[in-house]
Structure 1
């Protein structure tokens, strides 16, 4: 839980004229870290509630349990800096979502709900500062499904956010587990967009090398398993109008999908569990194109369809694609697919007016 005690700093910036319009490129994968976090007022003395400490110029340390978790630059919270970077990269709009670690499913439900509310308020404030440049995705405390549904309701209907970001697992339980179905049913009912990002991925004990390999090698496996769980767990079949996107190009899902489809074709018991062909279900999902390679992106478009892939950069972190628009423009795809990739698919996923199929 938190208390507003002056520690919270409203995002800077405001609306200004821009040459970019509704037809410009939308970056669906960008993250926000608040300039500060409110003082913890919950009941657990050892709660891993984050705080911020000034570091070198224009940077701050994210502190958790007295240790530096990550050092982030002011691009993570300063709207003017973001807009300047967007202009330089020819990005018309960014979809803002929390730094995934801030989803903090390991907090007690009361604390998790308070953190989600603070993140949602922060992101809504950033969107309000430049509504023609930013679209907001918030957070929900999925460690408590009822609270998650309540916070989704608030985020969408009170704050006007387009939806929320969630992790691929919640304390080790994949999102395709039936316990999370009421949340996805609510998201489908309210037309909320869902963005799935890796968090505390499986397989870390198998990595050999520096800690940064978590993002490089473990994230794809985690996001692929998360997407597959939505198929094998039956959630996608039960929520056919759910608009859900998977980061990092769907991770390992394209490879897993071929195996899953073959097994579905060959094995009767699997068809009994998964009533619709896995390939068809996967082609109803959305994916960012954050694969860092033209051949891989073209392959993803070919497999999932030109209406399902969107531009994503992972701004403002070190692993980001520094030229997502240029990478998309260089793809060897049909000319008529380019407007879909640059923005039309994102607008449809986000449920924005004027979206085209």
Structure 2
């Protein structure tokens, strides 16, 4: 049985209404939703279909019903990764991010206290990015911001991105890192199987390596950063990376271990045998439940079952931390603000502001 108050930190939302006219005029390939039936729709870029999606992506009531079936009390909803179009024209992309963030905030309001908002920012334009960070935090009450593993060709330790990490740190916003381009270009072979299975996980590992070995975590001591999909291949690659840095004389091993212990990772690894490795690598207080809802069939039910089946191989008390406590800390939420009785949300229970 799933314990009450379970929190899923990796789930996605997309607005049902059309993007603003100025967005479509200046950024015609901006991803948008076409609703085809009561149950399904399509994400479209320009004239091309990107993928078929389920109603829960845009409909809050359908999402809550899915959560009820899985036994999930709270979800943190973030933008669909295809919207992280950092190479788009600056002005329309800033408007696009604003449109998405305001839709996320409306969904949070409609969720009766069961949804937490994660926003997006136009990282290619520092002035617009800082403005949107303050808006999503102070005005919309979103608790975190989602960014890609690569920012228009830049790795996350690029000096051009320091302003973003400075601002997120000072605002107390959590940062959720998600692979972009479906994993394309991260490994030498292409095609869905390679991009999905190896590209996304390799891209995520490269992002984690930039955060740890590139000094981002060292320079920003207050940052709370989570990487989805179990932090990709990084948990397995880290010992070799650590040894390489030791041989090269670039880092002290104990300093690297401390920085790695500050990363959060979600549980979306599709094998209960991998979960003890995540706990070993990052610590019992750094693993978060993640499902990619509503994109992956069988989630979050399958992920919850895997976690519960692995509980005997985890340190005592780990599962409750993964299912609730770690998410509260990552999102910066006092437990009193959450609706733990997810069967009967009321308007009085919701939270939309700090």
- Using the size of structure 2 for normalisation, the TM-score is 0.87
The worse-fitting range, judged by mean Cα deviation, of 188-197 and 320-329 is 320-329
In structure 2, how many angstroms separate the alpha carbons of the residues matched to 1:192 and 1:306?
Answer: 22
Q: Which has the higher helix share?
A: 2
In structure 2, how many angstroms separate the alpha carbons of the residues matched to 1:229 and 1:198?
Answer: 14
Partner of 1:9: none
Counterparts in 2 of 1:108-187, with a 5 A limit?
Answer: 108-187=89-168
Give the CA deviation at 1:53.
2.7
Give the CA deviation at 1:226.
0.5
Counterparts in 2 of 1:244-259, with a 5 A limit?
Answer: 244-259=225-240
Give the CA deviation at 1:338.
1.5
The one of 290, 305, 310 equivalent to 2:283 is 305
The worse-fitting range, judged by mean Cα deviation, of 167-176 and 89-98 is 167-176
Matched, 1:203 2:203: no
Give the CA deviation at 1:216.
2.2
In structure 1, how many angstroms separate the alpha carbons of the residues matched to 2:40 and 2:142?
Answer: 27
Deviation readout 1:230-253 (Å, 9 max, x if unpaired): 122211100011001000000011
Where relative contact order (Cα < 8 A, 6+ residues apart) is larger, the structure is: 2
Long gaps (5+) in structure 1: 1-19
3-state DSSP class of the match of 1:41? helix
The one of 58, 62, 68 equivalent to 1:81 is 62
In structure 1, how many angstroms separate the alpha carbons of the residues matched to 2:197 and 2:38?
Answer: 28
Give the CA deviation at 1:39.
3.9
Alpha-carbon contact 2:287-2:326 (below 8 Å) kept = yes
Partner of 1:336: 317
Long gaps (5+) in structure 2: 337-354
Give the CA deviation at 1:334.
2.8
Partner of 1:294: 272
In structure 2, how many angstroms separate the alpha carbons of the residues matched to 1:29 and 1:48?
Answer: 25
The one of 313, 325, 329 equivalent to 2:304 is 325
Partner of 1:15: none
In structure 2, how many angstroms separate the alpha carbons of the residues matched to 1:129 and 1:168?
Answer: 30
In structure 1, how many angstroms separate the alpha carbons of the residues matched to 2:20 and 2:332?
Answer: 35
The worse-fitting range, judged by mean Cα deviation, of 344-353 and 196-205 is 196-205
Give the CA deviation at 1:136.
0.6
Partner of 2:350: none
Counterparts in 2 of 1:50-89, with a 5 A limit?
Answer: 50-89=31-70
Pair 325,78 (structure 1): closer, same or farther in 2 beyond 3 Å: same
3-state DSSP class of the match of 2:8? strand
In structure 2, how many angstroms separate the alpha carbons of the residues matched to 1:69 and 1:350?
Answer: 30
Alpha-carbon contact 2:31-2:43 (below 8 Å) kept = yes
Alpha-carbon contact 1:257-1:278 (below 8 Å) kept = no
Partner of 1:17: none
Alpha-carbon contact 1:237-1:276 (below 8 Å) kept = no
Partner of 1:29: 10
Partner of 1:223: 204
Count of residue pairs the alignment pairs up: 331
Pair 205,309 (structure 1): closer, same or farther in 2 beyond 3 Å: closer
Partner of 1:3: none
Alpha-carbon contact 1:105-1:141 (below 8 Å) kept = yes
Deviation readout 1:19-64 (Å, 9 max, x if unpaired): x99x611001100121132243259566322333332442222221
In structure 1, how many angstroms separate the alpha carbons of the residues matched to 2:327 and 2:27?
Answer: 40
Alpha-carbon contact 2:12-2:57 (below 8 Å) kept = yes
Alpha-carbon contact 1:32-1:97 (below 8 Å) kept = yes
In structure 2, how many angstroms separate the alpha carbons of the residues matched to 1:206 and 1:81?
Answer: 39
Pair 45,236 (structure 1): closer, same or farther in 2 beyond 3 Å: closer
In structure 2, how many angstroms separate the alpha carbons of the residues matched to 1:117 and 1:224?
Answer: 29
Give the CA deviation at 1:275.
9.6
In structure 2, how many angstroms separate the alpha carbons of the residues matched to 1:160 and 1:205?
Answer: 38
